[in-house]
């Protein structure tokens, strides 16, 4: 799945993003009109987010889906889905570790080396499938 960035400032987005913790001053690590691959999807506090590798670092981050328009709708064949998770995450789509292992999901958020290593391996596989 690929998406094109429509906006990178929270001020340009809906007020729903303020309710989940962003501020009007938030600027996302994305370039307008740039196309990005999506490596996971989650529903967080009733808002859909995409897992994308941003511009300035090698770290994946979750971005509100409303920042993007979907340009390629096909999902990777090896994706999984989980519904009714704990905390504020109610659903997750993505590669196996992201969906099946909550410690991996949390490790990505915490920028843990093991989680980042797995992400980069899965990113490479997904990118090769969608060249």
Domain boundaries, the chain: 2-129
Q: What pLDDT score was predicted for residue 45?
A: 81
Instruction: Place 107 in a pLDDT band, splitting at 50, 70 and 90.
Output: very high
Alpha carbon of 8 to those of 30, 45, 53: distances in Å? 6, 20, 14
Q: What is the mean pLDDT of the chain?
A: 88
In this structure, the number of other CB atoms found within 10 A of the CB of residue 109 comes to: 12
pLDDT at 47: 87
pLDDT at residue 15 in the model: 67
pLDDT of residue 17: 67
Task: Let me know: does 38 contact 52? Beta carbons within 8 Å.
Answer: yes
Are the CB atoms for 94 and 51 separated by under 8 Å? yes
Contact criterion met (CB below 8 Å) for 64 and 115:
no
pLDDT value at residue 35: 95
The pLDDT of residue 46 is 82
The pTM of the full predicted model, rounded to 2 decimals, is: 0.89
pLDDT at 14: 64
CA nearest to 118, candidates 40, 36, 3 = 40
- pLDDT tens sequence across 39-95: 999 998 888 999 999 776 768 999 999 999 999 999 998 999 998 766 688 899 999
Please tell me the predicted confidence (pLDDT) of residue 19.
Answer: 67
pLDDT of residue 56: 67
Q: Which long-range contacts (CB under 8 A, 24 or more apart) does 100-108 make?
A: 108/51, 108/60
């Amino acid at each position: 799945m690929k998406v094109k960035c429509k906006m990178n400032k929270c001020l340009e987005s809906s007020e729903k993003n303020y309710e989940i913790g962003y501020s009007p001053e938030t600027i996302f690590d994305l370039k307008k009109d740039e196309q990005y691959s999506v490596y996971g999807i989650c529903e967080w506090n009733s808002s859909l987010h995409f897992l994308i590798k941003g511009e300035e670092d090698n770290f994946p981050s979750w971005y509100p889906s409303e920042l993007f328009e979907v340009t390629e709708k096909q999902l990777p064949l090896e994706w999984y889905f989980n519904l009714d998770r704990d905390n504020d995450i109610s659903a997750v789509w993505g590669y196996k570790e992201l969906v099946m292992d909550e410690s991996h999901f949390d490790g990505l958020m915490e920028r843990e080396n093991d989680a980042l290593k797995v992400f980069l391996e899965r990113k490479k596989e997904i990118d090769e499938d969608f060249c």
